[in-house]
Chain A
Amino acid sequence: MDAFLLQLLVNGVIVGMLYGVVGMAFVLIYKASQVVNFAQGEFLLIGAWVCWWTLTEFDIPFVFGFLITLVFMFVLGVLIQVVVLRPLIGEPIISVIMVTIGLSIFFQSLLNWMFGVFAQPFPRIFETPSMEIFGLQVQTVYVMSMFVSVAIMAAFAWFFKASKTGLAMRATAFDQQAAQSLGISVRHVFATAWAISAMVSAVAGVVVGVVNGVSSALSFFGIKVFPAVILGGLDSIIGAVVGGLIIGLLENLAAYVDVDLQWGNMQRIAPFYALILILMIKPYGLFGTRDIERV
């Protein structure tokens, strides 16, 4: 196997993990509140810009800027849920989807207006921009992102298996009224889902922003999460991770094809070809749930 392909595979896994993380954030909202959030990509964008702004404006260490970003995203997530989506509870699903598309356009434009349309590089965060692992050049931030992704996934697993709020979320996702009969506040669950989703997306946004610079292209990263979550099954957290990995790898393999066979821009569209194929063969996705039926 030549080094270039290996390099691409490693990149694929790393980027795929990030897709998986954003996918989990997307699935979290969908599972808890049945909202397909088309503004998921904008969460990445907002997170990256906020982090970039705190770092360049106040010249504080990265860790603090990052923490401020997380707090900001938590508040923003709750705010969006309470102000925009709570009044829409009980409205047709298509209205809710239109509103999230509206949110996406609104935030895109707002950020373009505030920060301009040009990509802005992050200030230098790591001493060495890239490190060598088994003879491969990997950007330090990517190595970091690997750890962060795995940590977030482990945290999700723990959260849904063991924490009170996580169990309440799963119960709400399964049967809202039954959840309420147990004393679970559905409003609280919805707001928490949005807050966590916004925070986790922002983490991915910052990582990608550090690598590529912050620009509105980041929200395109969010769009590519769709094939990932649909591949995995819209309502499966594990599916989101697996789907993310597959899409990440697929994309980078397509890049190999692009360069090697001079096919042009397969990298951009390969995930969406995959999306169409999956919807034709497995409409529920790989891990999507169908109801348990006792026979």
Chain B
Amino acid sequence: MAEAAIAETPAAEAQAPLLAVNNIEVVYNDVILVLRGLSLEVPKGRIVALLGANGAGKSTTLKAISGLLKTEDGEITRGTVVYDGQVLNAMDPGAIVRRGVFQVMEGRRIIQDMTVHENLRLGAHTRPHDSQVARDIQMVYGYFPRLKERTGLAGYLSGGEQQMLAIGRALMARPRLILMDEPSMGLSPLLVREVFGIIRKLNEDLGITILLVEQNARMALEVASYGYIMESGKVVLDGTADDLRTNEDVKEFYLGGGGEQRKSFKNIKSFKRRKRWL
């Protein structure tokens, strides 16, 4: 059913998508089946959201694309990850970064005992270190003026600043596709808004395609043009962001219990999760 929906993706009919994940199956430690036949497409220049509950396999999907799966004893046992006409399955993470796919990992993962500047330089590891890098660092400071003022170790930055540094570090690699894993994690609502504003700006200014994994479905569907919803290793629903926002099931599961009719404790108690989607 997911395949049928993909054909309706607006950009799909015009050209091949920048990233196509075709029916992949991922196994950890040779036994634990995490993704079972997941497919999705990310058209060039778009922001696509990948939503789902904890443990649905969202992060695993991103790691399967970026090759980081191999660092965790995971393996793609079936299906292909095709980026820009190339199959990424067997490549190591370094080769994938060099091709322009960069994953901003969950929890920011900045190098805490280095300065902001050093972290940014690290982002450019796959490029030759020249004057271009210095210029790009200035560009990142342009997007995140707050980072420029921080001269101490990156570990002492606030959560929001660390997220900005993680995004800035990704920009240093000059990626064409950023895989962003939970940029809103642990941030205050105001900062979440700021970070999503930045994500939208990067997409508009630099034309970077973004695959966005989020718990905060409301915010994600605001910036994304298309969304996929995952459950236990599969895509169970997909559609344009507008369609998803108005979909009753999505409202119920991700945008907060059916809206206005929740008025008394009685209603909350009788509110029952639907176990099945279809």
Contacts and interface: CB of A to CB of B under 8 A. Distances in A.
Given A164-B129, A171-B122, A177-B71, A182 B114 contact: no
Contact of A184 (B66, B68, B121, B125): B125
Interface in A245-295: 289, 291-292, 294
Contacts of A171: 111, 114, 122
A167 interface: yes
A181 B113 contact: no
Contacts of B153: 292
B126 interface: yes
A164 B105 contact: no
A183 B71 contact: no
A168 B169 CA distance: 14
A285 to B, nearest CB: 16
A175 B93 contact: no
A130 interface: no
B118 interface: yes
B122 A167 contact: yes
A171 B118 CA distance: 10
B221 interface: no
Contacts of A292: 112-113, 153, 155-156
Contacts of B10: none
B97 interface: yes
B163 interface: no
B92 interface: yes
Max count, chain A CB within 10 A of own CB: residue among B97, B103, B125, B129: B125
Interface string B91-119: 01110111000110100011111100010
Interface residues of A, number: 20
B28 to A, nearest CB: 15
Interface in A155-202: 164, 167-168, 170-171, 174-178, 180-185
A180 B93 contact: yes
A294 B158 CA distance: 8
B114 A170 contact: yes
B68 A177 contact: yes
Interface string B116-143: 0010011101100100000000000000
B122 A182 contact: yes
A185 B112 contact: no
Contacts of B97: 181-183
A180 B71 CA distance: 8
Contacts of B114: 167, 170-171, 174
A115 B122 CA distance: 46
Chain B contact patch, size range: 20 to 34
A174 B111 contact: yes
B126 to A, nearest CB: 4
Nearest to A292: B155
Max count, chain A CB within 10 A of own CB: residue among B98, B111, B123: B111
Contact of A183 (B72, B156, B158, B173): B173
A171 B110 CA distance: 9
A174 B93 contact: no
A185 B94 contact: yes
Interface string B131-173: 0000000000000000000000101101000000000010001
Nearest to A184: B125
A195 to B, nearest CB: 19
Given A171-B122, A292-B112, A181 B155 contact: no
A29 B166 CA distance: 27
Contact of B123 (A180, A182, A185, A289): A182
A188 B149 CA distance: 34
B125 A181 contact: no
Max count, chain B CB within 10 A of own CB: residue among A167, A184, A185: A167
Interface in A137-165: 164
Nearest to B154: A292
A183 B98 contact: yes
Nearest to A163: B129
A181 B175 CA distance: 12
Given A168-B125, A170-B111, A292-B113, A182 B173 contact: yes
Given A167-B121, A174-B112, A175-B111, A182 B71 contact: no
A181 to B, nearest CB: 5
A182 B169 contact: yes
29 contacts: A164-B125, A167-B118, A167-B122, A168-B122, A170-B113, A171-B114, A174-B113, A175-B111, A176-B71, A177-B72, A178-B110, A181-B66, A181-B68, A181-B97, A181-B102, A181-B105, A181-B109, A182-B97, A182-B123, A183-B94, A183-B173, A184-B94, A184-B125, A185-B92, A185-B94, A289-B113, A292-B155, A294-B155, A294-B156
Given A171-B111, A177-B105, A182-B123, 7 more contacts: A164-B125, A171-B122, A175-B111, A180-B93, A184-B122, A185-B92, A292-B112
